[in-house]
Amino acid sequence: MKRGILFFISFLFWMNVSAQTAQEDENELYMDPAAIEMRSKMTIPPYGLTKVKALIAKIIPQEDNETTDASINAIPATDFSRLSLREKFTYTMIHAELYAQNCAIPEYQTQVEKKIFGTLLDGFNETSWSQRQTGFLNENRDSVMKLIQESVLRSKRMGVNYKHALAEINAWEMIPFIIDYAKKTPKDKDALTLLMLLMKRGEYQEFTTSTSFTKLYGENSNYYAYLNYNKENEALIFKRALNYYKDRKGK
């Protein structure tokens, strides 16, 4: 009789632990829509916006080739060439020309205020910039940096599209501005992510040899790797990024 009671108690304890573990796993994989929306929110430039939207509305998607699920959603080359630099900037910031089905799910997007992720979310929903668009960004990087800075100062927001653009053109010159923005916009932890991506792109040794780099970008890292947010980690990122900026500027 005693064995039966002990077994029953042990069974109940095991069921309770299993239920707690399952709940913890479920919470760990929970995708917080508000967190994802905040991290994937874009900034919409005002330059020729009505004109650009009208051109985008007329696009007829073209299949890239018969062997992939990719397609091209682009305005004609003649229309693109007629756009002013600012209008091309708006077009690129609100519309990515390449579509490719992506099965990646933004998991682990909980308590983002306590995390500094190693990667940015994709704000374009399974689309990406074409070679024509990245070419435009890199060929006009000085103007792109100026337009982004102008827009951020006006809207007080650096959308994920702006962050991707700065990472694409390796805008290390913008580091002091990004640091100032991060300090004034503490909820936007992805500004810290952008600083680390710029240091990674520049192969800055003080960062690439750090434990932070290994955790975020090492062999055992993954798309969802993050650092715990605290004032110490934030200050360290600021310090390293500013050192990197000064090092690049001095060369």
Residue 71's contacts (CB-CB under 8 Å, 6 or more residues apart) are 61, 62, 63, 64, 98, 99
Distances (CA, A) of 52 to 75, 141, 168, 206: 10, 21, 22, 43
Q: How far apart are CA 33 and CA 58, in angstroms?
A: 31
What are phi and psi for residue 20, nearest 5 degrees? -65, -45
CB-CB contact of 159 with 122 (8 Å): no
User: Tell me, what's the pLDDT at 36?
Assistant: 80
Q: Does the reported pTM lie above 0.75?
A: yes
Q: Is 248 left (phi over 0), alpha (psi -120 to 50) or beta?
A: alpha
Which residue numbers in the chain have pLDDT < 70?
Answer: 1-31, 64-70, 101-109
User: Tell me, what's the pLDDT at 110?
Assistant: 76
User: Tell me, what's the pLDDT at 70?
Assistant: 63
User: Tell me, what's the pLDDT at 31?
Assistant: 65
How many helices (H) and strands (E) in the chain?
13, 6
CA 14 to chain centre: 41
Residue 174's contacts (CB-CB under 8 Å, 6 or more residues apart) are 145, 148, 149, 166
